[in-house]
Amino acid sequence: MPDQIMPDEIATISQINRREAIRRVSAMLGGAAFIGGSGLLTACSREPAAKGADSTAAAAPVQTMFTADEVALLDEMAETILPATATPGAKDAQCGPFIALMVQDCYTKEDQAIFRTGMTTLNEECQKAHGHPFMQSSPAERLALLTAIDKEAKTYQDARTGDAPNHYFRMMKELTLLGFFTSEVGMNKALRYAETPGRFDPCVPYVKGEPIWANHA
């Protein structure tokens, strides 16, 4: 398995490796990025296709559940969460296509439905707040909208009990962070990446303000 998980590689990674990658990224981000460290792990439950499956099915064209416009929306949403500054942003890491692929290939049908309904809700909330859809909003309007939805999501998650579904925006944030910090751009520009194999050094001097080292997802 390669050291980095790139969007176009996700479909070929086994279920075990996908789950392990998510655990590692969660640990790298202090465990706070993901719902109890398990929101994405629960979603990534679909078994990959078995080897030797029917060749006709294997040759069938890949069905995509997201249109190009929807992927563009996810890209802009992710960029609002992780905008480009002195370092690249979510769009530079192609988080939109990554999010779409993860939801399509790894999420359960129930979580897929919640996510897609959430995309509609996001646009409806933007229409109410600003009089136009998300894609027609200014960066300031997008940030104000997502900040409000994020507060709503936090309130929901704090009160969530039992088998209640996760909030759609928490899913979006999780996938944005996962996509960015496991991308080549995220690992090399936002973090510091050292290709393995390499020596083990348990005590590396750290200067305040330096980027953390990228984990090997």
pTM over 0.75: no
Q: How far apart are CA 133 and CA 52, in angstroms?
A: 45
The pLDDT tens digits for 103-151 are 999 999 999 999 999 999 999 999 999 999 999 999 999 999 999 999 9
The 3-state DSSP class for residue 126 equals helix
The 3-state DSSP class for residue 181 equals helix
Other CB atoms within a 10 A radius of the CB of residue 23 amount to 17
Which stretches of 60-108 are DSSP H helices? 68-81, 95-106
Q: How far apart are CA 90 and CA 191, in angstroms?
A: 14
**pLDDT value, residue 118:** 96
**pLDDT value, residue 24:** 52
The 3-state DSSP class for residue 192 equals strand
**pLDDT value, residue 40:** 52
Q: Is the pLDDT of residue 182 over 80?
A: yes
**Cβ atoms 184, 4 nearer than 8 A:** yes
Peptide bond into 139 cis (omega under 30): no
167 compared with 198, residue with greater pLDDT: 167
Angle (nearest 5°) at CA 30 between 115 and 19: 50
What one-character DSSP code corresponds to residue 90? T
